[in-house]
Amino acid sequence: MLAALFPGQGSQSVGMSKFLYDEFSLAKQTIEEASDALSTDMAALLFEGPEERLMLTENTQPAILTSSYVTYKVLDSLIPVEITAAAGHSIGEYGAFVVSGALSFADALRSVKTRGQQMQKAVPAGEGAMVALMGASSEQALEVCAWAKSENPVGGEISAANFNAPGQIVLSGHAKQIEFVSKNAKPDILKEPPKKLRFIPLKVSAPFHCSLMQPAEDHMRGVIESLEMKAPSFPIVQNLDGKPHTDIGELKENLIKQISGSVLWVDCVQSLKEARCRKFIELGNGKVLAGLMKKIDPELKVLNINNLDDLKAVENDLKA
Protein backbone atom coordinates (compact mmCIF):
# COMPACT_ATOMS: atom_id res chain seq x y z
CA MET A 1 0.00 0.00 0.00
CA LEU A 2 1.50 3.32 -1.14
CA ALA A 3 0.73 6.65 0.53
CA ALA A 4 1.61 10.02 -0.98
CA LEU A 5 3.03 12.76 1.24
CA PHE A 6 3.10 16.43 0.28
CA PRO A 7 5.54 18.78 2.05
CA GLY A 8 4.62 22.22 3.34
CA GLN A 9 6.22 25.57 3.98
CA GLY A 10 9.90 25.23 4.83
CA SER A 11 10.57 22.70 2.07
CA GLN A 12 11.11 25.36 -0.59
CA SER A 13 14.49 26.27 -2.09
CA VAL A 14 15.61 28.23 -5.13
CA GLY A 15 16.04 25.80 -8.03
CA MET A 16 13.30 23.42 -6.90
CA SER A 17 12.09 21.08 -9.68
CA LYS A 18 14.51 22.48 -12.27
CA PHE A 19 15.93 19.03 -13.00
CA LEU A 20 12.43 17.97 -14.09
CA TYR A 21 11.83 21.14 -16.11
CA ASP A 22 15.09 20.65 -18.01
CA GLU A 23 14.45 16.98 -18.80
CA PHE A 24 10.69 16.59 -19.35
CA SER A 25 8.39 18.58 -21.61
CA LEU A 26 5.49 17.59 -19.33
CA ALA A 27 7.18 19.40 -16.42
CA LYS A 28 7.69 22.50 -18.53
CA GLN A 29 4.06 22.36 -19.64
CA THR A 30 2.82 22.01 -16.05
CA ILE A 31 4.89 24.95 -14.82
CA GLU A 32 3.64 27.04 -17.74
CA GLU A 33 0.10 26.05 -16.70
CA ALA A 34 0.87 27.41 -13.22
CA SER A 35 2.22 30.63 -14.74
CA ASP A 36 -0.99 31.10 -16.73
CA ALA A 37 -3.21 30.44 -13.70
CA LEU A 38 -1.43 33.05 -11.58
CA SER A 39 -0.23 35.47 -14.31
CA THR A 40 3.25 34.97 -12.83
CA ASP A 41 6.46 33.59 -14.29
CA MET A 42 6.60 30.48 -12.12
CA ALA A 43 9.77 29.17 -13.76
CA ALA A 44 11.60 32.35 -12.74
CA LEU A 45 10.20 32.16 -9.20
CA LEU A 46 11.15 28.50 -8.77
CA PHE A 47 14.55 28.56 -10.43
CA GLU A 48 15.85 32.10 -9.92
CA GLY A 49 14.12 33.34 -6.78
CA PRO A 50 15.78 35.23 -5.27
CA GLU A 51 15.31 33.53 -1.91
CA GLU A 52 13.73 36.65 -0.37
CA ARG A 53 11.02 36.59 -3.03
CA LEU A 54 10.46 32.86 -2.78
CA MET A 55 10.16 33.16 1.02
CA LEU A 56 7.17 35.52 0.78
CA THR A 57 4.20 33.42 1.87
CA GLU A 58 2.06 34.37 -1.12
CA ASN A 59 4.84 33.05 -3.38
CA THR A 60 6.01 30.13 -1.24
CA GLN A 61 2.67 28.39 -1.14
CA PRO A 62 2.00 28.28 -4.92
CA ALA A 63 5.66 27.33 -5.49
CA ILE A 64 5.41 24.34 -3.15
CA LEU A 65 2.14 23.20 -4.73
CA THR A 66 3.64 23.52 -8.23
CA SER A 67 6.75 21.55 -7.30
CA SER A 68 4.68 18.75 -5.78
CA TYR A 69 2.33 18.49 -8.74
CA VAL A 70 5.16 18.56 -11.29
CA THR A 71 6.92 15.76 -9.43
CA TYR A 72 3.76 13.66 -9.42
CA LYS A 73 2.95 14.32 -13.08
CA VAL A 74 6.39 13.31 -14.30
CA LEU A 75 6.54 10.17 -12.16
CA ASP A 76 3.02 9.14 -13.17
CA SER A 77 3.96 9.55 -16.84
CA LEU A 78 6.81 7.06 -16.35
CA ILE A 79 4.91 4.52 -14.28
CA PRO A 80 1.28 4.81 -13.10
CA VAL A 81 1.34 5.70 -9.40
CA GLU A 82 -1.31 3.76 -7.48
CA ILE A 83 -1.95 5.84 -4.36
CA THR A 84 -3.95 4.30 -1.51
CA ALA A 85 -4.19 7.43 0.65
CA ALA A 86 -2.44 10.78 1.04
CA ALA A 87 -1.61 13.50 3.52
CA GLY A 88 -0.06 16.93 3.13
CA HIS A 89 1.68 19.04 5.75
CA SER A 90 -0.18 22.36 6.05
CA ILE A 91 -0.14 23.89 2.55
CA GLY A 92 0.87 20.43 1.31
CA GLU A 93 -2.71 19.33 1.85
CA TYR A 94 -3.64 21.19 -1.34
CA GLY A 95 -1.24 18.94 -3.27
CA ALA A 96 -3.18 15.92 -2.02
CA PHE A 97 -6.43 17.52 -3.20
CA VAL A 98 -5.06 18.12 -6.70
CA VAL A 99 -3.46 14.69 -7.19
CA SER A 100 -6.62 12.99 -5.90
CA GLY A 101 -8.70 14.83 -8.49
CA ALA A 102 -10.74 16.64 -5.84
CA LEU A 103 -9.53 20.06 -6.96
CA SER A 104 -8.17 21.40 -10.24
CA PHE A 105 -4.55 22.53 -10.33
CA ALA A 106 -5.52 26.05 -11.44
CA ASP A 107 -8.16 26.48 -8.72
CA ALA A 108 -5.76 25.18 -6.08
CA LEU A 109 -3.02 27.58 -7.20
CA ARG A 110 -5.31 30.59 -7.05
CA SER A 111 -6.60 29.49 -3.65
CA VAL A 112 -3.17 29.07 -2.09
CA LYS A 113 -2.01 32.39 -3.54
CA THR A 114 -4.93 34.09 -1.77
CA ARG A 115 -4.33 31.98 1.33
CA GLY A 116 -0.73 33.16 1.49
CA GLN A 117 -1.72 36.78 1.03
CA GLN A 118 -4.36 36.60 3.74
CA MET A 119 -2.10 34.77 6.21
CA GLN A 120 0.58 37.41 5.74
CA LYS A 121 -1.97 40.19 6.10
CA ALA A 122 -3.51 38.76 9.30
CA VAL A 123 -0.58 39.77 11.53
CA PRO A 124 1.68 42.81 10.90
CA ALA A 125 5.28 41.94 10.09
CA GLY A 126 7.36 41.39 13.22
CA GLU A 127 4.40 40.91 15.57
CA GLY A 128 4.20 37.14 15.22
CA ALA A 129 6.72 34.32 15.47
CA MET A 130 7.15 30.54 15.56
CA VAL A 131 9.65 28.40 17.43
CA ALA A 132 10.41 24.69 17.39
CA LEU A 133 10.27 23.15 20.86
CA MET A 134 12.57 20.16 21.11
CA GLY A 135 12.54 17.59 23.89
CA ALA A 136 8.94 17.91 25.04
CA SER A 137 5.99 15.57 24.55
CA SER A 138 2.71 16.82 23.11
CA GLU A 139 1.24 17.14 26.59
CA GLN A 140 4.31 19.01 27.84
CA ALA A 141 4.15 21.42 24.91
CA LEU A 142 0.60 22.31 25.88
CA GLU A 143 1.78 22.68 29.47
CA VAL A 144 4.51 25.11 28.36
CA CYS A 145 1.91 27.24 26.53
CA ALA A 146 -0.37 27.30 29.58
CA TRP A 147 2.59 28.26 31.80
CA ALA A 148 3.52 31.15 29.48
CA LYS A 149 0.00 32.56 29.46
CA SER A 150 -0.08 32.37 33.27
CA GLU A 151 3.40 33.80 33.88
CA ASN A 152 3.27 36.43 31.15
CA PRO A 153 -0.41 37.31 30.61
CA VAL A 154 0.44 40.51 28.70
CA GLY A 155 2.60 38.60 26.22
CA GLY A 156 -0.32 37.52 24.06
CA GLU A 157 -1.13 34.34 22.17
CA ILE A 158 0.95 31.18 22.19
CA SER A 159 -0.18 27.70 21.21
CA ALA A 160 1.08 24.45 19.76
CA ALA A 161 0.87 24.82 15.99
CA ASN A 162 2.52 21.68 14.60
CA PHE A 163 2.79 18.28 16.25
CA ASN A 164 5.47 17.17 13.80
CA ALA A 165 7.11 14.22 15.54
CA PRO A 166 7.82 12.92 19.05
CA GLY A 167 9.89 15.58 20.76
CA GLN A 168 9.44 18.10 17.92
CA ILE A 169 6.54 20.49 18.30
CA VAL A 170 6.23 23.99 16.87
CA LEU A 171 4.79 26.83 18.96
CA SER A 172 3.16 29.86 17.34
CA GLY A 173 1.87 33.21 18.55
CA HIS A 174 2.81 36.78 19.39
CA ALA A 175 6.53 37.45 19.00
CA LYS A 176 6.87 38.82 22.55
CA GLN A 177 5.32 35.69 24.05
CA ILE A 178 7.46 33.39 21.91
CA GLU A 179 10.55 35.32 23.03
CA PHE A 180 9.48 35.07 26.68
CA VAL A 181 9.03 31.31 26.47
CA SER A 182 12.29 30.76 24.61
CA LYS A 183 14.25 32.64 27.28
CA ASN A 184 12.44 31.54 30.43
CA ALA A 185 10.85 28.11 30.04
CA LYS A 186 12.99 25.51 31.84
CA PRO A 187 12.37 21.79 32.35
CA ASP A 188 11.43 22.31 36.02
CA ILE A 189 8.25 24.24 35.09
CA LEU A 190 6.76 20.93 33.96
CA LYS A 191 5.11 18.34 36.19
CA GLU A 192 7.40 15.64 34.82
CA PRO A 193 10.53 17.56 33.76
CA PRO A 194 12.40 16.27 30.69
CA LYS A 195 16.20 16.34 30.67
CA LYS A 196 16.29 19.38 28.42
CA LEU A 197 14.09 21.85 26.56
CA ARG A 198 15.48 23.50 23.46
CA PHE A 199 13.92 26.30 21.43
CA ILE A 200 14.86 26.90 17.79
CA PRO A 201 13.47 30.07 16.15
CA LEU A 202 11.92 29.49 12.74
CA LYS A 203 12.38 31.80 9.77
CA VAL A 204 8.74 32.45 8.93
CA SER A 205 6.89 35.55 7.86
CA ALA A 206 3.83 35.01 10.08
CA PRO A 207 2.62 32.95 13.08
CA PHE A 208 0.82 30.13 11.26
CA HIS A 209 -1.70 27.66 12.68
CA CYS A 210 -2.81 29.63 15.73
CA SER A 211 -5.74 31.89 16.63
CA LEU A 212 -3.95 34.91 15.13
CA MET A 213 -4.76 33.43 11.72
CA GLN A 214 -8.53 33.73 12.30
CA PRO A 215 -8.91 36.74 9.95
CA ALA A 216 -7.25 34.74 7.17
CA GLU A 217 -9.48 31.77 7.92
CA ASP A 218 -12.60 33.94 7.81
CA HIS A 219 -11.62 35.29 4.40
CA MET A 220 -10.69 31.86 3.04
CA ARG A 221 -14.02 30.37 4.10
CA GLY A 222 -15.74 32.14 1.23
CA VAL A 223 -12.97 31.20 -1.20
CA ILE A 224 -12.93 27.50 -0.30
CA GLU A 225 -16.70 27.13 -0.03
CA SER A 226 -17.05 28.49 -3.57
CA LEU A 227 -14.54 26.03 -5.07
CA GLU A 228 -15.80 23.33 -7.41
CA MET A 229 -14.70 20.12 -5.74
CA LYS A 230 -15.13 16.44 -6.57
CA ALA A 231 -14.86 13.38 -4.37
CA PRO A 232 -11.18 12.36 -4.20
CA SER A 233 -9.99 9.14 -5.82
CA PHE A 234 -8.42 8.13 -2.49
CA PRO A 235 -8.88 9.22 1.16
CA ILE A 236 -7.08 12.38 2.25
CA VAL A 237 -5.85 12.33 5.84
CA GLN A 238 -6.33 15.90 7.00
CA ASN A 239 -4.22 17.96 9.39
CA LEU A 240 -7.11 19.22 11.48
CA ASP A 241 -8.08 15.85 13.01
CA GLY A 242 -5.50 13.42 11.61
CA LYS A 243 -8.24 11.29 10.06
CA PRO A 244 -9.03 10.18 6.47
CA HIS A 245 -11.83 11.97 4.62
CA THR A 246 -13.60 11.59 1.28
CA ASP A 247 -16.78 13.62 1.88
CA ILE A 248 -16.60 16.95 0.02
CA GLY A 249 -18.25 18.93 2.81
CA GLU A 250 -15.86 17.54 5.42
CA LEU A 251 -12.85 18.08 3.18
CA LYS A 252 -13.72 21.74 2.63
CA GLU A 253 -14.51 22.46 6.28
CA ASN A 254 -11.29 20.86 7.48
CA LEU A 255 -9.30 22.76 4.87
CA ILE A 256 -10.82 26.01 6.13
CA LYS A 257 -10.27 25.32 9.84
CA GLN A 258 -6.74 24.09 9.18
CA ILE A 259 -5.59 27.71 8.75
CA SER A 260 -5.88 28.52 12.46
CA GLY A 261 -5.88 24.91 13.70
CA SER A 262 -2.94 22.76 14.70
CA VAL A 263 -1.22 20.42 12.25
CA LEU A 264 -1.62 16.95 13.79
CA TRP A 265 1.07 15.33 11.67
CA VAL A 266 1.83 12.43 14.03
CA ASP A 267 -1.87 11.54 14.01
CA CYS A 268 -1.91 11.75 10.20
CA VAL A 269 0.92 9.24 9.97
CA GLN A 270 -0.79 6.94 12.45
CA SER A 271 -3.96 7.01 10.32
CA LEU A 272 -1.95 6.11 7.22
CA LYS A 273 -0.38 3.20 9.10
CA GLU A 274 -3.84 2.04 10.18
CA ALA A 275 -4.81 2.10 6.49
CA ARG A 276 -1.99 -0.46 6.01
CA CYS A 277 0.28 1.97 4.18
CA ARG A 278 3.86 0.82 4.62
CA LYS A 279 5.55 2.62 1.75
CA PHE A 280 5.48 6.39 1.37
CA ILE A 281 6.52 8.76 -1.38
CA GLU A 282 7.24 12.41 -0.64
CA LEU A 283 6.07 14.32 -3.70
CA GLY A 284 7.88 17.65 -3.68
CA ASN A 285 11.11 19.36 -2.88
CA GLY A 286 13.50 18.24 -0.14
CA LYS A 287 13.23 15.55 2.50
CA VAL A 288 11.49 17.33 5.37
CA LEU A 289 8.71 14.79 5.75
CA ALA A 290 11.10 11.85 5.34
CA GLY A 291 13.02 13.22 8.32
CA LEU A 292 9.87 13.49 10.40
CA MET A 293 8.79 9.99 9.43
CA LYS A 294 12.07 8.54 10.74
CA LYS A 295 11.33 10.10 14.12
CA ILE A 296 7.73 8.87 14.12
CA ASP A 297 8.47 5.30 13.00
CA PRO A 298 11.96 4.35 11.73
CA GLU A 299 10.57 1.26 10.00
CA LEU A 300 8.48 3.26 7.53
CA LYS A 301 10.03 3.59 4.07
CA VAL A 302 9.91 7.02 2.44
CA LEU A 303 10.90 7.60 -1.20
CA ASN A 304 12.12 11.02 -2.33
CA ILE A 305 12.66 12.60 -5.75
CA ASN A 306 15.19 15.43 -5.75
CA ASN A 307 17.25 14.58 -8.83
CA LEU A 308 17.14 12.32 -11.89
CA ASP A 309 18.85 9.45 -10.07
CA ASP A 310 16.17 9.60 -7.37
CA LEU A 311 13.47 9.60 -10.03
CA LYS A 312 14.90 6.48 -11.68
CA ALA A 313 15.29 4.74 -8.31
CA VAL A 314 11.65 5.46 -7.40
CA GLU A 315 10.49 4.29 -10.82
CA ASN A 316 12.36 1.01 -10.36
CA ASP A 317 11.07 0.64 -6.80
CA LEU A 318 7.45 1.06 -7.90
CA LYS A 319 7.93 -1.36 -10.80
CA ALA A 320 9.29 -3.95 -8.39
Q: Just list the catalytic residues.
A: 90, 209
> Could you give the C-alpha distances from 77 to 80, 123, 248, 302, 318, in angstroms and in order?
7, 42, 28, 20, 13
* Alpha-carbon span 140 to 194, nearest angstrom: 9
Terminal C-alpha separation, the chain: 13
> Whose CA is closest to 160, among 172, 147, 148?
172
**Residues 6+ positions from 112 with CB-CB distance below 8 Å:** 61, 62, 65, 91, 94
Q: Using alpha carbons only, how large is the chain's radius of gyration in Å?
A: 19
Q: What is the DSSP letter of 263?
A: B
44 by Cβ neighbours in 10 Å (0-12 / 13-18 / 19+) ranks as: exposed
* 62 three-state secondary structure: helix
CB-CB contact of 200 with 132 (8 Å): yes
DSSP 157: -
Residue 205 phi, psi (nearest 5): -95, -5
